[in-house]
Structure formats: C-alpha cells, structure tokens
Structure 1
Amino acid sequence: MKAAKLAFGLICLAILASNIATMSRWSEARGVYDDICYLRQAHLFQRFGAGGLDTNAVRDDDRYFEGKLKDIAFAEWKDPIRWPCHNPMPGGKVVLQYPPGTGFLLALFPQGHQVVPLYIAASLILCGLALSGIAMARSLPSVLGAGVFGALAVYLMINPAKASYSVAPTMALCAVAGFLTALWLARGKRSVLLIALIGLLLGASVNFRLPNALLAAGYFLFLGIPFLWTRSLATFVQGLAFGAGVLVGMAPTLAAQAINAGSALSTTYGSADLVAPAFDLAVFGQYLRDMQIVLIVLAIGATLSLLWSREGHVQQAAFVVAGNLAVNLGFFLSHPVFTPYYVVPIAMLSLWTLSFARLLQPAEAREAASVRREPASLGALPR
C-alpha cells in the first residue's frame, strides 16, 4: 500500500509540475474579453485600494482599460457604453459586471504577471489536499480512489479552469470547503466555529462568481429541514452560524453592488445576461458531449453509493451533497446557456466532500464495514 501511495503522490506532483510549466507560458493578452475585465478590476484595486470596488468607467483616467482594448483590436474602445463586460446603471454610471473577488486576488501580484501566479497558487492548494487524501487512505481501494481523484482534480486546473480566471480560485475554495465539510460531519460534537468557517468560504466564493451562491443550498437544506422538524436549539445555532458566515463572506460583493448599482441587492449585470431558466435540449446535449458530464456522473454515482452507508457521518455528507447537486444541476441544466465550466464548482465541491468523508471514517467503523462484507468462513457455516 505504501508503494501505491508513493506512486499516486508522484503522479499528482508530476501533473502539477507539467501544469506549472504550461501555465508559465500563458499570455495575459489572449484576446478574451473576460480576461481584460478581471485585470481592470485588479488594476483598480492596485490604484485605489478598497476604493477599487468602484468600477465606474470614468475612473479609467489613466487609459489602462483603453490600452487593453486596443491590444485586442477592439474597435469601439473610446465609447464606455460599448466596452465589453460593462453595463450602464440607472444613475448613469458604466460599471464592471463581475463581482470583485477575482480582481482582488489578481491585484495581489505585480501587474503583467498576475494570472500565472494565481493559477499556480490555486494548483498548489489542490495538490496539497490531494496528497493529504492519499496519505490519509487506510486501504488499497481508498488509496486508488484518493489517488485517481487527486490526479484528476490537479489536471482540471488546466482544462477547464483556464476558461475563466474566476474558476481557479473557485476550485481551490471548493476543495478546502469540501475537506472542512467532511471534518465537520465526522466530529461527534459538531463545531459551530467550523460550520461558520465553511459558510464564510462558500460566501467568499460568491465574490468570484455570483452563481457560486448556489453552492450553499445543500447546507441550508441539511440544517434547515431538521430544524423545522425538531426545533432543536443546537441545529438553529448551527444554521445561524453558517448563514452568518455566508453573509460575511459575500460582503465584498454586496458592497460592490451598493457602490456600483445603488443597492446591495441590485446586480451589475445587464438584462441580456439575466437569462431565465428554460430547458433546452441543445444545451443539454452540449453538457453530454463535454468533460463536465464525467464529473456529474462521478458526483452522482459517489453520492448514491454513500447514501447507503451505515456510517452516520458518511451518509450525512451524502445528504448534504445530494441536496446541493439537486439544486445546482437543476439550475444549470435548465439554464439555456452553456459554458465549459458552469457545473464544475458543484461537481468538485461534491467530490471533495465525499472523498474526505470516506477517508475520515473512524478505524472501528471501517473494520466493522469490512467484517460485514467478508463471507463467513467454512468453520462458521451451520452444520
């Protein structure tokens, strides 16, 4: 088993090294609108600090964004109304549509060398958790499972994570939140501080992509339904701590919306981006032909498998994931717009949670499960 752990650990490190070598050759001027818009947010943070939350087009007085538009040969670079990723607000301002989190992380690195360090940092977090999972495995099947999943998770930081700068930090947060969720459920006495931290991380993920708000849905169902049934004070406190964590985590986005759109609950997205759910067979077909369907099948299969577990915390992790998958897949698969990364966050959060839930299974529970699966010996057969 030690040889298997070493082999999978080396595989994960080899994929990480290959990813870093590939990432080091990436260009920050690949002609994608989203890229330069995230970089504009980063530039505002570097110029104005917290004042960078205000993304009004008039603040481009140093012509930074105009220069980026010229670099990609955008014809209407002079007219802010025509700028990509920007929308006019009722007050007359033209502002960035994206939440501020991705730009904030990019701003931590020097201008011109921001994207590669962000992706490398996120990849290191994922690889660290993958190696931890391999080290925690206590049987050959669990080593194989942790090793294959860890290698897949690290590889995904190249494709599809490259499709949007917001995906890389989302992937890292989902991995950490998945581990903490399994840890929270594995403890006999569930920590209020730990569930608050999980809520904080999931709330913070909203600062990268607004649809990440759906990642908290399964937790609210898991905590809310038992409270409605039992009216337990402990369950209420857990739910309150989680909700408070989510709210604090997404505070930067609420502040940015208040500054740019006039209200914390008003979106900076234009009406063209607010697409109502409507099932579209063509969009569903795109998911079936995309890498995302593999992740969806893996997440659903692992959830169904663990729902039948007799180990309490493993089964409860599956309940959290099941609720989360139902809400998120129900939304995205009925959303008449397709991208190569829409369901990646929920799939990865689910798989990290289930993987660590199984790995954190107490030794005595593993032994009991092993005994239940073993056939009776000849000596024990009835005569």
Structure 2
Amino acid sequence: MKAAKLAFGLICLAILASNIWTMSRWSEARGVYDDICYLRQAHLFQRFGAGGLDTNAIRDDDRYFEGKLKEIGFAEWRDPIRWPCHNPMRSGKVVLQYPPGTGFLLALFSEGHQVVPLYIAASLIVCGLALSGIFLARTLPSLVGAGLFGALAVYLMINPAKASYSVAPTMALCAVAGFLTALWLARDKRSILLIALTGLLLGASVNFRLPNALLAAGYFLFLGIPFLWTRSLATFVQGLAFGAGVLVGMAPTLVAQAINAGSALATTYGSADVVAPAFDLAVFGQYLRDMQFVLIVLAIGATAWLLRAGEGHVRQAAFVVVGNLVVNLGFFMSHPIFTPYYVVPIAMLSLWTLSFARLLQPAEAREAALVRTDAAGLGAQPR
C-alpha cells in the first residue's frame, strides 16, 4: 500500500509540475474578451480598494481598459456601450457584467503577472486535496479510486479550467467544500461550524460565477426536507447556519449588484445573456461530445453505487449529491447555451464529496458495506 500511495502521489505531483510549466508560458493577452474584463475588475480593485466594486465605465479615466481593447484589435474601443462584457443599466451606467470575485483574486498579484499565480495557487489546493485523499485510502480499491480521481482533478486545472479565469478558483473551492461536506457528515454529532463553513465557501463561489449559486441546492434540500418532516430544532439550526454561511459568502456580489445595478437582487447581465429555459437537442448533443459528459457519467455512476452499497454518512453524502445533480443538470441541460465548463463545478463538487465520504468511512462500516455488496453479488449468481 505504501508503494502504491507513493506512486499515485508522484503521478499527481508530476501532472502538477507539467501544469505549472505549461501555465508559466501563458499570455494574459490571448484575445479573449472575458480575460481582459476580469483584468479590468482586478485593476479597479488595485486602484480603488473596495471601491473597485463600482465598475462604471467612466472610472476608466486612466484608459486601462481602452488599452486592453486596442491590444486585441477591438475596433470600437472608444464607445463604452460597445465594450465587451459590459452592459448599460437603467441608471445610465455602463458596468461589468461579471461578479467581482475573480477580479479580486487577480488583484492580489502584481499587474501583468496575475493569471499564472492564480492558476498555480488553485492547482496547489486541488493537488493538496488529491494527495490527502490518497493518504486517507485504507484499501487498494479505495486507493486506486482516490489516485485516479486525484490525477484527473489536477489535470482538469489546465483543461477545461483555462477556458475562463473564473473556473480555476471555482474548482479549488469545490474541492475544499467537498472535503468539508464529507467531514461534516462523517461525524456522529454534526458540527454547526463545519456546515456554516461549507455554506460560506459555496456562497463565495458565487462571486466567481453566478450559476455557482446552484451548487448549494442539494444542501438546502438535504436539510430542508427532513426539517419539514420532523420539525427538528437541530436540523433547523444546521440549515440556518448553512444558509447564513451562503449569504455571507456571496455578500460581495450582492453589494456589487447594489452599486452597479441599483439593487442587490438586480443582475448586471444584459437581456441577451438572460436566456429562458428551453430544451435543445443540439446543445444536449454538444455535452455528449464533450469532456463534461465523462464527468457527468462518473458523478452519476458514483452516486448510484454509493446509494446502493454505501452506509450511514456515505449514503447521506450521496443524497446531498443527488439533489445537487438534479437541480444543476436540470438547469444546464435545459439552458440553450453550451460552454466547455458549465457543468464542471457541480460534477467536481459531487465527485470530491463522494470520494472523501468513502475515504472517511469508519473501518467497521466499510467492511459491512463490502460484505453486503459481496452477498448481493453472490445472490445474483445462477444456481
């Protein structure tokens, strides 16, 4: 086991090293609109501190964004109404459409060298949790599962995470939130602090991508349905702690929307970006041909297996994931827009949760589950 753990650990570290080498050669001027828009938010934070939440186009008085637009050959750089990733508000402001989290993280690094350190930091977090999973494995099957998943998780920090600067920090938060979820469920007396911290992280993920708000759906269902059934004070307190954590975590986005759109509940996205749900076979077919489909199959398959063979907190983790998958996949599969990373966050949050739930399973429960699985397999044999 020690040799196998070392081997899988070295594989994860080798992928990490390869990723860092690749990232170190990335350019921050690759001609993608989203990139320069996130960098503009970072520039505002570096100039104005917390005042950088106000993304009004008139604050580009130092011509930073205009310069970025010229670099990529954008013809209408003089007209803020035509700026990419910006939308006019009823107040007359022209503001960035994205939540402020990605720009805030980029602002932590020196201008001109922001993207690579962000990706390396996120990759280190993911790799650290992958190595933790390998270390926690107590059986060869669980070690193989943790090792293969860890290697996949580290690799994904290059592809598809490179598609948007918002994906890298989202992936890191999903990994940590998955671990905390499993740890919360594994304890006989569930910690209010752990579930509040999980809510805080999932709420914070909304600051990177607004659809990340859906990542909390399964938790609300897991805590809300039992409360409606039993009216348990303990369940109510757990749900309240989680909800408070989510609200506090997403507070920067709510404040930014209040400043830029006039209300905390108003969106800074334009009407062209707010698309009504509609099932589209063409969009669904794109998911089938994409790496995301592999992650969806893995998440659904792991959930189904743990619902059948899992016990105690492992099965409960699977129930949390079921609610999350139903809500998130239902939303994105009925959303007539496709990108190569839309369902990656929910797939990775699900897989991290299930992986750690299995790894943190007590030895007695794990042996009982194996016995039950073997018995079921023997019962299916022809006589």
Q: Mark yes or no: TM-score above 0.5.
A: yes
Q: Could you tell me how far 1:309 is from its partner in structure 2?
A: 2.9
C-alpha separation between the residues in 1 aligned to 2:31 and 2:310? 52
C-alpha separation between the residues in 2 aligned to 1:207 and 1:371? 45
- Who is 2:378 aligned against? none
Residues 342-382 of structure 1, C-alpha deviations (whole Å, 9 max, x = no match): 0000000000000000000001212333444567xxxxxxx
Is 2:181 the partner of 1:181? yes
The 8 Å contact of residues 220 and 239 in structure 2, kept in 1 or not, is answered as yes
- Who is 1:172 aligned against? 172
C-alpha separation between the residues in 1 aligned to 2:349 and 2:10? 24
- Who is 2:12 aligned against? 12
- Who is 1:257 aligned against? 257
- Who is 2:330 aligned against? 330
C-alpha separation between the residues in 2 aligned to 1:287 and 1:218? 22
Is 2:67 the partner of 1:71? no
Is 2:266 the partner of 1:275? no
Please give the residue correspondences for 1:227-376 in structure 2 after superposition, counting only pairs within 5 Å.
Answer: 227-373=227-373
Residues 213-247 of structure 1, C-alpha deviations (whole Å, 9 max, x = no match): 00000000000000000000000000000000000
Tell me which amino acid in the other structure corresponds to 1:82: R
- Who is 1:380 aligned against? none
Is 2:36 the partner of 1:41? no
- Who is 1:108 aligned against? 108
C-alpha separation between the residues in 1 aligned to 2:31 and 2:259? 29
Q: Could you tell me how far 1:117 is from its partner in structure 2?
A: 0.2
Tell me which amino acid in the other structure corresponds to 1:191: S
Identity of aligned residues (%): 90
- Who is 2:124 aligned against? 124
C-alpha separation between the residues in 1 aligned to 2:265 and 2:139? 49
SS in 2 for 1:95: strand
- Who is 2:142 aligned against? 142
- Who is 1:378 aligned against? none
Residues 110-144 of structure 1, C-alpha deviations (whole Å, 9 max, x = no match): 00000000000000000000000000000000000
The 8 Å contact of residues 283 and 336 in structure 2, kept in 1 or not, is answered as yes
C-alpha separation between the residues in 2 aligned to 1:366 and 1:278? 43
C-alpha separation between the residues in 2 aligned to 1:373 and 1:298? 20
C-alpha separation between the residues in 1 aligned to 2:226 and 2:357? 21
Q: Could you tell me how far 1:4 is from its partner in structure 2?
A: 1.1
C-alpha separation between the residues in 1 aligned to 2:140 and 2:320? 27
C-alpha separation between the residues in 2 aligned to 1:312 and 1:51? 48
Q: Could you tell me how far 1:2 is from its partner in structure 2?
A: 1.4
**Which TM-score applies when normalising by structure 1?**
0.97
SS in 1 for 2:236: helix
Q: Could you tell me how far 1:105 is from its partner in structure 2?
A: 0.1
SS in 1 for 2:320: helix
C-alpha separation between the residues in 1 aligned to 2:339 and 2:113? 26
Q: Which runs of 5+ in 1 are unaligned?
A: 376-383
The 8 Å contact of residues 309 and 372 in structure 2, kept in 1 or not, is answered as no
C-alpha separation between the residues in 2 aligned to 1:44 and 1:328? 32
C-alpha separation between the residues in 2 aligned to 1:342 and 1:107? 25
SS in 1 for 2:339: coil
- Give every structure 1 segment of 4 or more consecutive aligned residues whose post-TM-superposition deviation is greater than 6 Å: none
Q: Which runs of 5+ in 2 are unaligned?
A: 376-383
User: Kindly tell me: are residues 310 and 161 of structure 1, through their superposed partners in 2, closer, same or farther at Cα, counting changes over 3 Å?
Assistant: closer
User: Kindly tell me: are residues 251 and 125 of structure 1, through their superposed partners in 2, closer, same or farther at Cα, counting changes over 3 Å?
Assistant: same
Q: Could you tell me how far 1:306 is from its partner in structure 2?
A: 0.5
C-alpha separation between the residues in 2 aligned to 1:373 and 1:65? 60
Residues 36-74 of structure 1, C-alpha deviations (whole Å, 9 max, x = no match): 000000000000000000000000000000000000000
CA RMSD of aligned residues (A): 0.8
Tell me which amino acid in the other structure corresponds to 2:111: Q
SS in 1 for 2:188: coil
Q: Once structures 1 and 2 are overlaid, which stretch shifts more, 140-149 or 303-312?
A: 303-312
Is 2:156 the partner of 1:156? yes
SS in 1 for 2:272: helix
Q: Could you tell me how far 1:310 is from its partner in structure 2?
A: 4.7
Q: Could you tell me how far 1:147 is from its partner in structure 2?
A: 0.2
Q: Once structures 1 and 2 are overlaid, which stretch shifts more, 301-310 or 76-85?
A: 301-310
C-alpha separation between the residues in 2 aligned to 1:151 and 1:78? 46
C-alpha separation between the residues in 1 aligned to 2:310 and 2:181? 19
Residues 1-60 of structure 1, C-alpha deviations (whole Å, 9 max, x = no match): 111111110000000000000000000000000000000000000000000000000000
The number of equivalent residue pairs is 375
Tell me which amino acid in the other structure corresponds to 2:176: V
Q: Could you tell me how far 1:311 is from its partner in structure 2?
A: 1.4
C-alpha separation between the residues in 1 aligned to 2:187 and 2:7? 31
